Structure 1
Amino acid sequence: MSLESTKADEIALIVEEAIVSGELPPGTVLRQEQLSERFAVSRTPVREALRRLAALGLVSFEPNRGVRVRTLSREELREAFLVRAELESLATELAAPRMTDADLESLERAEADFSRATQALRSRPPDEAERWQRTSDWVRANHGFHDVIYRVADSPLVERLAKSARRSFSGHAVWAPGGSETDALYERNDREHRAIIAALRAGNPGGARTLARDHVLHSYELLVHVLEQRPLNSVTGVVGRN
């Protein structure tokens, strides 16, 4: 593998994480010259990294406008949730008979992290930067919970496809704190994690699968509620600017 290809891999991974965490929200312009300066490389690996991100559906090349983090339509988001619901439930069912006590402890720790992140997100700090940080922390904690299940399921194709679907609706430009009704939906999300753990601990693959599927579909209801209060394209920017 060439050095430029290796650098392209590194850049793509870092930018993907920034998009998924919400550091780079939908609509953000990715300027090749700024990325080249940031990573101290020529534009060749930067262009290759951006092409890889485009293949994942995370960015789009727009004529005369450069590269932007994609803003998905509501229909695309709905389809992504439907796909993830089936894959997530399958992964959970596959993981159920493989769960060891150590795995369940890892899942409990991940859920505790998610619960704390949920409470922090619901506190709605007045500082906007802090709100975005807490939302990014919430996204990462949520991924951490489901990543334990993917690891135990040991089904690389299912994991890869499910993670591809979830990239579509990650980030603080999508998820955001709201009012009391939003709080109730976030709390339901947290309770459902605990219900999934209980089903896995009980050795109930079918029950765990149903709970996981319902959980993802309920997350879509939460997303729709958030989007009704905060348009998906309401946060845009350019890499390198505040």
Structure 2
Amino acid sequence: MNALRPVRRTLLRDRAYEAIRDAIVAGEIEPGAVVRDAELAERLGLSRAPVREAFSRLVDEGLMESKPQSYTRVTPVVAGDVRDAAAVVGAMHELVTRIGVPRLFAADVEAMRAANERFATAVGAGDVDAALRADDELHDVLVRAAGNRAAAATIIRYTPLIRRLERRRFGEGTACRSTGLHERLIGACANGDTDGAVGVTAEIWRGLADMDATADEEAH
């Protein structure tokens, strides 16, 4: 009976949150779009309660804004918000890199290399979804190795704000540059060079924090 273990039950509010968050990040629900709980609940096949809970969480995380008795809508992509999020997420990645590098095994480094190969292939094919997924997988190796739950939670919370702009700017040269930075990061990790890995991580996130989102700002 050892094979029988408790099955993880995903809360409906979490399913609603993840689906709506991903649609916002992907641009399927555009900045400035007014969202209605009844409409999204029907589309998701859920009741309105978990969708409302998802809305509340997304407002708290900055992907939505709400005016009581008036509207709930997707926030615009604002340069300052992206830079602030990138600075915070970058600091957390530097932290997990410093903690995680000494804890890496050879298999972890190989997992990072494989993720970077998938990233490069996706960039070459213009597949933004696969590229961002591979990018997450690469950096998640260090997040898991560090084992710092507070840092991991902060990364999860604020990365979607950055991803919205990354998707829009995909293919403008930043993604291709990231492949090389990933290679340098992996090399430092393979050599156990913690300071070098932290330095490359800082360089990666400085580039994201400096992204100019002016053309993407929208007023509603």
Q: Quick one: which of 186, 197, 201 aligns to 1:208? A: 197
- Residue 175 of structure 1 aligns to a residue whose secondary structure is helix
| Aligned match of 1:44 | 49
Figure out how many residues of one structure are paired with residues of the other and give that number. Answer: 211
Q: Once structures 1 and 2 are overlaid, which stretch shifts more, 71-80 or 204-213?
A: 71-80
AA in 2 matched with 1:203: G
- Please, which runs of 5 or more residues in structure 1 have no aligned partner? 122-133, 237-242
Identity of aligned residues (%): 27
Query: In the alignment, what sits opposite 1:128?
Result: none
The aligned counterpart of 2:61 is: 56
Quick one: higher RCO (CA 8 Å, sep 6+), 1 or 2? Answer: 1
Structure 1 contact 85–214 (Cα < 8 Å) conserved: no
Q: How does 1:1-242 map to 2 (within 5 A)?
A: 6-62=11-67, 66-121=71-126, 134-171=127-164, 174-177=167-170, 182-183=172-173, 185-221=174-210, 223-224=211-212, 227=213, 230-233=215-218
Per-residue Cα deviation, 1:88-143 (whole angstroms, up to 9, x for no partner)? 1111111101111111111111111111122222xxxxxxxxxxxx2233222222
Unmatched 5+ stretches in structure 2: 1-9
Structure-2 change in CA distance of 1:188 and 1:52 (3 Å): same
Instruction: Tell me if the contact between 1:136 and 1:171 (Cα under 8 Å) persists in the aligned partners.
Output: no
Which amino acid is 1:158 matched to?
Answer: A
**RMSD of aligned C-alpha atoms?**
2.5
Cα contact 2:122–2:130 (8 A) shared by 1: yes
Residue type at the aligned position of 1:40:
G
Tell me the TM-score normalized by structure 1. Answer: 0.77
Q: Does the CA contact (< 8 Å) of 2:34 and 2:74 recur in 1?
A: yes
> Which amino acid letter does the alignment assign opposite residue 178 of structure 2?
N
Which has the larger displacement, 207-216 or 37-46? 37-46
Please, which moves more after superposition, 42-51 or 106-115? 42-51
Alpha-carbon offset, residue 213 of structure 1: 0.8
> What's the TM-score once normalised by structure 2's chain length?
0.84
Q: CA deviation at 1:23?
A: 3.7
**What CA distance in whole angstroms lies between the structure 2 residues aligned with 1:59 and 1:106?**
35
Separation in 2, partners of 1:8, 1:79: 27
Distance in 2, matches of 1:176 and 1:23, equals 16
CA displacement at 1:41 relative to structure 2: 2.9
Shift of residue 73, structure 1, vs aligned partner = 2.4
The structural deviation recorded for 1:65 is: 5.2
Instruction: For residue 22 of structure 1, report the CA deviation from its aligned partner.
Output: 4.0
Q: Structure 2 CA distance, aligned partners of 1:117 and 1:161?
A: 27
Distance 2:166 2:39 in 1: 22
1:57 to 1:109, Cα distance in 2 relative to 1, 3 A: same
